Amino acid sequence: MDIKASAAIVLLALSGCAMLPQNQVPATATAVQASMVPPQRMMGFLHAGKRPAAQLVITRDAGLLGAGCYYSVYINELFAARMDAAETASFVVPAGKVVVKIGRDPYVPAFCNMGYPTWVQGEAVLAEGARSDFLLSIDRSGKTALRRVDRSK
């Protein structure tokens, strides 16, 4: 078997191992199964300081697609963390409008930046003391999605 045929078989096999489509991802199981992002990859929004604050929690699903690549998290245009698959990050953010932007980490090997444009964005308006959860997922085609998750379900 030649190299091209072998590579095609491996790619097809891996694409079958991708995570569930985002409408089938169990929101409650994801955060429980995810580990916390290590402190060395948490860059900001760790403490409230003197401003009114809220909590923002982002969980990346555990699918194999994209599992070898970190994703960068920006909050209100500031670099906040680098996330791996099956990780959760909790941030202390200013109360009010919060803009979250997530994409493949630009400081990783070139293969991590192939395929779909990967920057996705979400917003939340948070009252002081409130919490908002987001789920980062990558579908079978490699498309990145960020969606709010209702913790009450």
By DSSP bridging, strand 96-104 and strand 71-75 are antiparallel
Amino acid at 96: G
pLDDT in the model for residue 49: 82
Q: Which domain holds residue 83?
A: 3-149
Q: And the tokens for 40? A: 């060395």
Residue 59's nearest CA partner among 122, 152, 123, 148 is 148
Q: Which residues of 56-65 are buried (b: 16+ CB within 10 A; e: fewer)?
A: bbbbbbbbeb
Q: Is 18 helix (H, G, I), strand (E, B) or coil?
A: coil
Number of domains in the chain: 1
First-residue to last-residue Cα distance in the chain: 50
CATH code: domain of residue 88: 2.60.40.2890
Return the number of other C-beta atoms located less than 10 Å from residue 93's C-beta: 24
**pLDDT tens sequence for the chain (153 residues):** 455 444 444 343 443 333 333 334 444 334 557 899 999 999 999 998 888 999 999 999 987 666 678 899 999 999 999 999 999 999 999 999 999 999 888 776 667 766 656 789 999 999 999 999 999 998 777 788 899 998 765
What is the distance between the alpha carbons of residues 85 and 144, in angstroms, rounded to a whole number? 13
